[in-house]
Structures are given as C-alpha cells and as structure tokens.
Structure 1
Amino acid sequence: MSDPTAGSMVTTPTVEQPSAADTTAPPNKSGKRRADKPRGLLGDAWYDLRHKPMFWISMAFIALFVVMAAFPSLFSSVDPTQGDLARSRVEPGGNAWFGYDVQGRDVFARVIYGTRASIVVALLSTLGTILFGGAMGIVAGYRGGWVDALLSRIADIFFGLPFLLGAIVILTTFNQPGSNNSKFKIMMLVIVSLVILTWPVSMRIMRSSVLATKQADYIMAARALGAGAGRIVFRHLLPNCLAPLLVYSTILIGAFIGAEATLSFLGVGLQSPVVSWGIMINEAQDWIRVSPYLLYFPAAFLVLAVLSFVMLGEAVREALDPKLR
C-alpha cells in the first residue's frame, strides 16, 4: 500500500546563505563583495596610527619643521646674518615679529633658518647611528659565539663613556679654537661624534630582536631549504626585526636635536656664522634679564621640535606593540 502523502510532497530549492565575509566586506567596482585581505604588522600599525590624534598633531609639526628647513625663504626673505647695530635689541613689533638681537639681526629669520642646521644634523646622525649600530646588532645576533662576545664588549666600552663629556672631548680635539674649519667640516664632526657615542644602543636593540627571531620556525625552514646567510638576513630577519629600531630612531631624532643645541650652546658644536637654535640660545644668555625674548623664541622652537618627534615615537611604539593596543 502506497503512502498517500508521497505525491503531495513538494521539494523546495535550498537557498545558499551568504558567508560572513560576503556580508561584511565592502563591494568592489563590479558591485560584488569581497573579503578583506589580512593585514601584516605594518598594516595593523598604520591602521592604529590613523586613529591617533597624537600621531597627526606630531606629524603636522614635523612636516612644518621639515618645510622650514628645506625652504626657509618661504617664511622669511630677510638675511639671517645681516645685522644693523642701530636696531640692536629692538623688541618685537610689526617690522620684526620676534625683534632683533644684539647685533641687529632679525630673530624671526634666524629662528627659521636655524631649523635647517638642527634638522640636518639630527637626521644624518640618526641615519648613521641606525645603519652602523643596526648592522653590528645583526652580525652579533646572527653569528653568535665569539663574534657576539667581541662586539658586545666593544659596545660596553662605548656605553661607559659619558655622552656629554665624550662629545666635548671629541669636538675640542678635532675642532680647536683658531683652526678655521669650514662649516661643513664642523657639522660632520658633530654628526660623527653623536654617532660614535650612541651606536651601542641601536646595536643592542637589533641584537635582541635577532636573537628572539632567528630561532623561529620560518627561519629554521629557510635554513633547511638551503637558504644562505644573506638571504635569511635580508629576506626574513631584517623585515621582522626593524620595528623596535624604527621606534628608537624616531625618538632619537628629537634627542639629537636637543644634543646639537646643547653642544652649540656650550661652544663646542656648530659655530657662527652657522645659524642654529643652540647658537641663538648661547648668544642670548647674557641678555636674559633685559631682553628675554632673545631666549624665548629659539627655545620654544627647540622644545616644540623635540616634543614632536618624541610624541611621534610614542605613537609608533604603541602602534607596533601588540600589548599596548
């Protein structure tokens, strides 16, 4: 006996439900939705940085200082070295927003043109420190053994040198009064002294990153497949060990701006006719009571530049550190 309900059964077509990736991903140009591609470390860091007001504020000031250093004539057409004793210590006004210094030079023009020396010294010193210290750190961490021990002991020797005292000794030795060194040579001496005294920090940062990464599975797999040391270092180790060094380099630029100003203030760094914030602060120290604006304006620009790079470094550190997200 047949089932009376067999003929009345209707087969309904099944509708395929869209996946979560199809419903959440934005449509492309053809109108179809696509799944978002996974982001890497730098992609995640950039995503976090875009939502940080501190990052954009610091980048705005840094961009301003870079433009001032590259194109100072956009902000002032006055010669910063041209003085007139008849305008000596004239206070700020309509003709000179920041007033005139003791030799009758426009303080505003000198502050603008002083940005170039500070930024150039800081950038080149940071580049030299990161390249040299980072290379030593990669060699020490990857090779290990006696190479690591030797480079670490050499770095310890430089760690024992007081930064300010060491810079003064180097600069006074190779830039003695009356030596008539060119402006370029004096600037290079300042850069070399900063690199010599600070490279061990970047060396240790890179060495620690390499030691933590070289035992990873993908490194062991690349070595098992016959990859050479150069390929492992440049294709695998270096991209995965740069994050801590990038954070340090960003903060180091601000530190070097302050270091250059300190050495110039002490009279062993950049010297006239070079225009820098440290030189302006040095020239203003004898007139703080009667003309404090000679100190306020270059000091304010110096503090703002250092603070901008430190804020940027802090924002980058938080973005690259998964524990702080």
Structure 2
Amino acid sequence: MNSDSFIKGRGAQQNTDNKFSAYSYESRDDFLEFCRLEGESADTNKTQYIPIFPKTIVNKVTSTDIGMSYSMNMYQGCEHGCIYCYARNSHEYWGYSAGLDFERKILVKHDAPKLLEAKLKSKSWKACTIVLSGNTDCYQPAEKEFQLTRKCLEVFFKYRHPVGIITKNTLILRDLDILKELNNHGLIGVNISVTSLSEKTRRILEPRTTTIKKRLEAMRVLSSEGIPVNAMLAPIIPGINSHEILNLAKAVSENGAFSMTFTMVRLNGAIGEIFTDWIKKALPDRADKVLHQIQECHGGTLSDSRFGIRGRGEGKIATQIHDMVRLAKHLYFIDKKFPKLNTELHQPFKDGQMKLF
C-alpha cells in the first residue's frame, strides 16, 4: 500500500462523479500547489452531519433477493466506510458522490421516531417485521450523538412491534436493556456482519467499524441473553475472504449465532469504479486477480443486476463458495434455527381502548 496517497480511515479513495449531476469532481494541480504553498490542507477529511426531513421513514422492499419486507434508515450515508457497500449508490439520489461523500456527508433524519410512531399507529398498517439498517448501519458513529436508533427501539417496544437490526458495531450493547425487553415478547432479531477474522483485512475493507473480536463478543453477550443473532458473512469476496468461510462459521457459531447467511460481492453502479481504485491502492499485488475472480462470478462483469443471481453469483468460483457454505452450515448450524418474530401483539397496543367502542 502506498501510504502517501492513501486516505487513512476511509474506504473510498476518491469521489466518483454523480450520474445525476452535470458537475464532476477534479483535483487540479494548480489548486493542490496553492494549498501546499499556503500550508493548507486540500481536504480536511472531516465528517459532516446534515439534517434532512423526509415525510416517511418505512420503506417497502420489493426486491426478491433481499430477505425483508420493510426497512427503515435513520441515517443516509455511513461513516463505517465499507468499500464494497451496495448502499453507496443511493447517495447519488441525494446529490452526493457514492465515494468519499458517502462516508463523510451523513444525512440525519431527526424526525425518524415520530415518523415511525405515525406509521405504527396507522389504521392500515399490519404488523410485519421492520428491519433497521436495510441501507446504512443504524449503529454507525452518528448514533452516539443522535441516539435515533434507541428512540426508535423505544417506539417499537411501546407498540409491541417486531423489529430486526443489521449492524457491525458493538454500540448495539448500549441498548441491551431495551433489546431484552423486546426479546421477552419475541419482538427482536439481530443480524451482525462478520466479514473476516483478520484485523488487517477488516481495517482496509471496513476502516471505521468495530474490531472483529468485539463483534464476536457482542454476539456472545446478546445470545447469552437469549436474543437471537444471525451472523451475516457478507460479502464474500473471492481472493480476499473466500478462504475464511469455514473458520468464520465456526467462530460465529461458538459465539452464539443462531444461524448464518452470506452473499457474494457485487459492484454495481459507481461501486465498481470505487472498488477498483481502492484495491489498486490498498492491495496492488492482488488487484487484478481479485477483480477477475469477481467478474467470473457475474458473467464477466463487476456490475450484475440479475435478480436471483446477483447475490449468489455463478460459475466455478461461486459454486465452490456455495459448497463451502453448505458444509459450514452442516458442521456448525445443523441443530440451530433463527426464530420467527411475534406479530400478534401489535394490534391491541395500536388500538388501545378504542376497540371497546
């Protein structure tokens, strides 16, 4: 890795052009030279929190490849900086780049708890698990300051409504008290992402995430309280973490995971350019090999949008990975099962005493 040109603490190493914008990013040599002469930094690399005020917060998921019906996100953009993140492309809809902007311009939905409560009280709404972090991590660093995830969990408990969580941050343990209350009624399921057992790999793939050791500890704490945890081995990237599948499965099982799932990496939209630029800087000796193996899993391209195939991959490499996952499940999860969440309690709590009249 060329440390002189690598932006430490970030995944993306550039701001790609926004396909919806007429403007493009360019670092001109004359500007960089001016900054050098003035002793100024051309890029402060600071994170900005930008308030936004959407009218709704719960999104219906129509993709057949995603195992959820509804999701909600308190934050858009994610400071974790995972280089492979599929959510990067969504930042372009807000007028920003999928590259560094995604990690440094975090949009904060301050009204999220109020909007959620309005949704759960709606006469037309019928209880169905809503997953937090369908797009970006609800326990990313912004949550320390704004606590929107905790406030939303309190709303879910108030109305006895089932909720799922996807995260790779141990900040989730801050809310163990409300998670235990939800679990007493079968209303919570947690998905923890574990991409590698190597800290070196974790640091370059997911620069601002919790360490692997702490993620496994969080899994163990949650499961010891009876809270169901699914381990997400996602994404599997050929040539980077594909050789770790059995060891990953063993580790998460030993730390209490009820089940495990996986997806193949895919680099749609701007992510292909961002990932390619990153790997040539972070892992130059492996860059071409990894990119070619990803292409082999997606019909010769980094960008795969085929429903039913894009998350699974195809070809010899994908088949080998699927075989390894099946073996891992047989070895470490044969007697385990993730429970179905309770949808029967919500209606009385939504209606209150009105049903008497």
| TM-score computed with the length of structure 1 as normaliser | 0.23
Larger radius of gyration: 1
Bigger helix fraction: 1
* Higher RCO (C-alpha under 8 Å, 6+ residues apart): 1
